[in-house]
Structure 1
Amino acid sequence: MQEVIRPQLLPKRQVKLAPLLARANLLITRDIEWANIMFAFEQENRYAIVDACYPGSPVGHIREQSNIIFRQLLRSRRPFIARITDAMGNEIFRVRRPFWLINSTIYAEVDGEEVGVVHRRWHLWRRIYDLYLGNKQFAVVENPGFWNWTFTLKDEDDKVLAQIDRDWRGVGFELFTDAGQYVIRFGDDSSPKSGLAAAIQELEVARPLTMSERAVAVALAVSLDNDYFSRSGGWGLPILIAGE
C-alpha cells in the first residue's frame, strides 16, 4: 500500500522532503552532455527525477553547481553541490560532495543542515558504502563489483531497506555518453501499476525508510553515478547516438 503522509505528525524536515520522496519508486535519468562527448569538456551534471507511476513529466530535478576549472582538472573527483528541486524549481534539499582522493563522501542537507552522509569504503573490487543519519549508521551497501549494477541497502541484520539499480540504456548510450539511468526502489507498493511502474519489480523491505533516510539514498545514487559511471573524457568529434 502506498505510504500515507500525515504532515501534522511529521517534523518540519520530513514535511519538506515528503512531496518528492514519499513514492515507492523514483527514476533518475542523467542528461546527455554533448560538450563532453564531442570535446571532452566536463559539464555540470543534470538529472530528471520521475515518478515511475506517472512518467509523463518530471517531479523533480538534480542540478550540479561546481567550479568550471575544477571540473576539467579533477573530473569525477571534483567537489560540487547538487540542488534537488521539485518540478517548479523549488529546492527540497541538496547534496554536497567534497574533493576526494581515495574514498568519496557525500552529504545530504536540508535548509543548510546536514541530515545524513554516505561514506565510500575502499575495497580492491567490491563497492562498499556506509550510510548514516547523524552519527548513527542505518544501512550498508556491499556490491560485488565488476558488472553488477544493483546496489542494495541493508540494515545491521542484513535485511533489505531499499535498492538502487542502474539500468542498461542501450549500446549507444552506454559506450558514448554519461546519460545513466537509476531506479530507486523504496519498498512494496500495492497501488495500481501504470507507466514504467508496471515493469519495476516490487521490493520487500524490512521497514520503510524515513524521508531523511530516503534523501541519503538519493545522495548515494548521485555518488554512484560519479564514482563508477561517469566517463573521463569525450571523443573529440561529433557522434550520432542511437539508443536501443
Structure 2
Amino acid sequence: MQAPTNPTAPIDDTEKSPNPISEAPPTYNSHYQPGPPAPVGYPIAGYPGPGPMGFPGLNQPGGFPIYQSGGPPAVYQPGINVNPIQPPQIPWMPGPPPPPNCPPGLEYLSQLDKILVHQQFQILDLITGFESNNRYEVKNNMGQMVYMVLEDTDDITRNAYHSIRPFVLRVVDCMGQEIMRMQRPLRYTCCCFCCSSTMQELEVQSPPGVPLGYIMQQGVFFATNFRIENEKKEHVLNIDGPCKAQCCSDTIFQIRSMDGINIGSIRRQWPGAAEAEIADIDNYEITFPLDLNVTLKAMVFAATFLIDFMFFEHSPRDDRQHDNY
C-alpha cells in the first residue's frame, strides 16, 4: 500500500506568456478634429519607436534620416531609385535662425521665394488600382529638401471618396518632427456655387493643434478662386485660378493681395502626355516675395495641396475606367 502524497499545487493557466503580444496601435477615427500634439524632442540619433502616426519611424525602412548636429548634412533617399545599387542622395536645406514670432519649423520659409513640390510616384497604385496615401517632396530652387508632406487617411475613406476625401496632411522636417498639419473636412461638390456647404476648405495648424489660418473656396461661378484667412478668420490674401485646367500647358493660380496686386503664383506644371497617361504625378512651383510674412508663405504653400486634391487628384481606378471608354 503506497503512502498518500501531498496534493500538487494547481496550475495557473492564466499565467502570461514570456512574449506577450502588444496591443494593436489605435486607429485614426477623425479627419477634422485636432489630433494629439506631435511628438517633440526627438533624440539626435537612434530613435527606436514609431514616428508620428501614419508614417514609419526614423530607424524603420522608408523612415526619415536623422539630422546629425554638427556633422554632414542629412540626406533623404527618394522612394524611387533609378539605380538601386547607388541611390541618389538629396541634401536637406540647412536650418536658418528663426525670425521673431515664427512657429517652430517654418523658419525655412523666411529664406525662400520659390518652393518646388513634387508628388511621389507609387507603383503599387498603378499595378493594383488601390490608392495609397499621397506623399510629396518639398524642395528649394537649389534642389535641397525642405519638407516632406505625408497624407494620413484610412484606406476606406481614401478609396471610397477619392478626390473629395477628407484628409490630414502632415508636414515634417529633416528630423521627422511634424511642424505643420493640414486638415480638410468632407464637403460634397455641387455644380451650384450658391451653397456654402459645398465650398471646400482647409484648416492649417502650426504647430499641430494651433490654428495658423484657413483656405476657403469662393463661390464664383465657373471659377477656381480661394481666399486665405488668418487664425482670426480675417481675409488676408486671394487666389485666382483659371476657369478650368489648361490642356497641354501649365495651370497657373495667381496670388493677389487685398488691393488686387499680383504677388506670386502657384503653377501646376503639365507633366506631358506620356507621363499623364502612366501615373497621377503632379509638380508645382510656388513663388512669392522673399519678404512676405512667413505665416502667409505657409498659407500659400498649404493652398497648393487643396488645389491638387480638388482639380488634379485622380485615383488609379478612375484612370482605368477612363481608359475603357
TM-score (norm 1): 0.79
Q: Say whether 1:184 aligns with 2:286.
A: yes
For the 8 Å contact 1:85–1:93, the answer to whether it is kept is: yes
- Partner residue in 1 for 2:154: 67
Alignment partner of 2:205 out of 97, 106, 109: 109
Tell me how far 1:104 sits from its aligned partner: 1.3
Judging by fraction of residues, say which structure has more helix: 1
- Partner residue in 1 for 2:219: 122
Tell me how far 1:151 sits from its aligned partner: 0.7
For the 8 Å contact 1:22–1:211, the answer to whether it is kept is: no
For the 8 Å contact 1:44–1:63, the answer to whether it is kept is: yes
Amino acid at match of 2:222: W
Unaligned runs of 5+ in 2: 1-95, 189-197, 321-325
Tell me how far 1:21 sits from its aligned partner: 5.3
For the 8 Å contact 1:106–1:119, the answer to whether it is kept is: yes
Deviates most, 160-169 or 16-25 = 16-25
For the 8 Å contact 1:121–1:130, the answer to whether it is kept is: yes
Relative distance call for 1:183 and 1:69 in structure 2 (3 A) is same
Alignment partner of 2:126 out of 16, 31, 37: 37
Relative distance call for 1:43 and 1:123 in structure 2 (3 A) is farther
Relative distance call for 1:36 and 1:103 in structure 2 (3 A) is farther
Alignment partner of 2:234 out of 121, 131, 136: 136
CA distance in 2, matches of 1:133, 1:231: 30
1:90-112 Cα offsets, whole Å, 9 max, x none, are 22211111111122111110121
Tell me how far 1:12 sits from its aligned partner: 4.6
For the 8 Å contact 2:151–2:167, the answer to whether it is kept is: yes
Q: Say whether 1:27 aligns with 2:120.
A: no
Report which of the two structures shows the higher radius of gyration computed on alpha carbons.
2
Alignment partner of 1:76 out of 163, 169, 172: 163
Amino acid at match of 2:270: W
How many residue pairs get matched?
Answer: 210
CA distance in 2, matches of 1:88, 1:214: 22
- Secondary structure (helix, strand or coil) at the match of 2:235 reads strand
Percent identity, aligned pairs only, is 22
Amino acid at match of 1:79: P
Q: Say whether 1:214 aligns with 2:297.
A: yes
Q: Say whether 1:146 aligns with 2:244.
A: yes
**What are the equivalent positions in structure 2 for 1:164-183 lying under 5 Å apart?**
164-183=266-285
Relative distance call for 1:12 and 1:142 in structure 2 (3 A) is closer
For the 8 Å contact 2:267–2:284, the answer to whether it is kept is: yes
Structure with larger RCO (C-alpha < 8 A, sep 6+) = 1
CA distance in 2, matches of 1:16, 1:33: 27
Relative distance call for 1:20 and 1:90 in structure 2 (3 A) is farther
**What are the equivalent positions in structure 2 for 1:194-233 lying under 5 Å apart?**
208-233=291-316
Tell me how far 1:20 sits from its aligned partner: 4.4
Judging by fraction of residues, say which structure has more strand: 1
TM-score (norm 2): 0.60
Amino acid at match of 1:87: C
- Secondary structure (helix, strand or coil) at the match of 1:140 reads strand
- RMSD (Å), alpha carbons: 2.1
- Partner residue in 2 for 1:239: none
CA distance in 2, matches of 1:221, 1:27: 11
Relative distance call for 1:122 and 1:38 in structure 2 (3 A) is farther
- Secondary structure (helix, strand or coil) at the match of 2:316 reads coil
